[in-house]
Structures are given as structure tokens and as C-alpha cells.
Amino acid sequence: MLRPSCPTLVIHEDDAFRKTLIAALDQHHFTVTFTPDGTHALELLRDPKFRVVILGVNLASGAGLQALEPLREERDARKLGVIILGDPDPKLRTSVPWADETLLKPVDAAYVAQRATTYCSET
């Protein structure tokens, strides 16, 4: 039996990893929307359909950080699962303590997809 899709937003600037992650999410029956751009992600997040957000963050360059503040405000109200992917940096977990999960790179895309299923089964 095919599981229902889970609307997921992937925000990640690394093209190769993003494609691998989307392929892994497809295997778990996610419906994926993606963007490499945090500003575009903020526009996409206006749509309440998303159940999971997977956000690649680079603390050194600031990439992805612009998407963080609205996610903090939205996640509880919308029951939105937030998974942060970031470079091994001790400041990462303290920068986003409200995220549901913080996974340090390098991380296996299949593992990220598996973890994301946790937030789709919740109602």
C-alpha cells in the first residue's frame, strides 16, 4: 500500500546534495518543493500545506539564516517539522535550539529522508 505524500520544502544551496536528498525523499513518498534561496523559501512558506522543512544552513556565509526566524514562529502553530542541516560547527545547535533536529554534514540523504518521515506521521 502506497503511503500518502507529505508536502516538504527543501532549502539547500548545494545542487548535488539537494538532488540526492530529493531522490531519497521521493522513495519515501514525499511531495517535494525545493529552492536554493532563503528569500524564495520565505515566499513558499506562506503556503500552509508544508509539513516538513529541511533547511541547509551555512553559519560562516549566513546562507539559509534568513529563513530561520519565520520558521521559529511558524513551526508550533502549524505542526511543522524542521530539520536543520549544517556544517560541523559548535554554534549550530545553539543558533537553532528550537529546530526539531539538527544534523551535521556530511549526512546521508537517505537518513535525512528517514528522519523526515517522523514529522509526516504526526497529526
Out of 9-18, 35-44, 65-74, give the one with best mean pLDDT. 9-18
C-alpha cell at 11: 532549502
| CATH fold for domain 6-118 | Rossmann fold (3.40.50)
- Residue among 79, 73, 64, 88 nearest 118 (CA): 79
For residue 123, the model assigns a pLDDT of 46
- Helix residue ranges per DSSP H, the chain: 15-27, 38-44, 68-78, 90-95, 109-120
The domain locations on the chain are: 6-118
Query: Taking the CA atoms of the chain, what radius of gyration do you get in angstroms?
Result: 13
Residue 57: pLDDT band by 50, 70, 90 thresholds? confident
Distance CA 122, CA 105 (A): 26
